[in-house]
Amino acid sequence: MLNTRIRALAAKDLQLHWRAIVTSQLAIVGVILLGKAMRPHGRPAELAVLVFTLNYLLAGYWGEWLVSREKGKGTVAWLRSLPVTDFDLVTSKLVAQAFCIVSLWALSSGLSLWDFFFPRLMATWAVVLLAILTFGALSLTCRWRFRQKAGQVLPFALAAGLIVPFVLARRWGADVPRQLEALWTHGGGKAAVALALVVCYLAIWWGTLAWIRRSDTSRLVE
């Protein structure tokens, strides 16, 4: 499925950033384990929120990071002068990012929340991973399309636009969040959310590809 060029480009990204990737992953795992050690009798759900939040922040960071370097140093211009298709370019970034996200989520949740997720909440584990992947892809596409500040802030603003109303409605005792939670727990909520996330991920990939295909290289560098 992944052609040689995509594998070569993704491997190049991991090779260029491996120190930063490993360091940030170790730091995040360290913070989580420290949090667990400081509150040995804390509720697993609270720890799950911490693990999710850190993974989510780092996914956004990696998305921004993988593209910023190419745009800022103009290396994307060199890549585009080689026989690399725009499909290869976009897909390889998503593959490199997915590698980072999946490995961190598996490592951090496996080390600190194994008993919480497995085997009872495996579906939740997978849906949360999909959500982080989708957010990472959003951050990647925002950075392709916008300048640094906007590219950094926009994905977080969009995610906040979804999460904050839900949290506020729940706090104010509105019915909708309760109904959604019931659907999530008992109905086909998890499958529906997973499907929606997959559709979003593919739409982001397709939209980014369509935009890059239309763009002159000068629009892809800063």
Partner 1 sequence: MVTSGLELRQLTKTYPGFQLGPLSCRLQPGRSYGLVGPNGAGKTTLLNVISLQAQASGGEVRFGDTPVRWSDTGWKERISYVRETPSFYGELSVARTLRLASRLYRNWDEAFAASLLSRLELAPEKRVERLSKGNAVKLGIVTALAHRAELLILDEPTSGLDPTARAEMHEILRALQREHAPLTLLFSSHILEDLDQVVDDLFILRNGAFVFEGAMRELERLALFRVAETIDLRKSPDVRLMWRKNGFLWVAVPRDCPFATTLSTLPGCREDPKGLTLSTLYEGTAHAC
What number of chain residues touch partner 1 (CB under 8 A)?
25
Among 25, 68, 75, 124, binds partner 1 (CB under 8 A): 75
The yes or no reply on residue 80 touching partner 1 (CB under 8 A) is yes
- Using the contact rule CB under 8 A, the part of the chain among 25-33, 41-49, 57-65, 75-83 near partner 1 is 75-83
Rounded CA Rg of the chain: 19
Measured CA to CA, the distance from residue 101 to residue 131 in angstroms comes to 11
**Least distance to partner 1 from the beta carbon of 50, Å?**
33
Among 39, 43, 73, 120, binds partner 1 (CB under 8 A): 73
* CA 16 from centroid of its chain's CA atoms: 19
Of 83 and 173, which has the nearer Cβ to partner 1? Answer: 83
> Which amino acid is present at 207?
G
The answer to whether 68 touches 220, Cβ cutoff 8 Å, is no
**Category of 74 on φ-ψ map: left (φ > 0), alpha (ψ -120 to 50) or beta:** left
> Given the rule CB under 8 A, which residues bind partner 1?
4-5, 7-9, 12, 15-16, 73-75, 77-78, 80-86, 213-214, 216-218
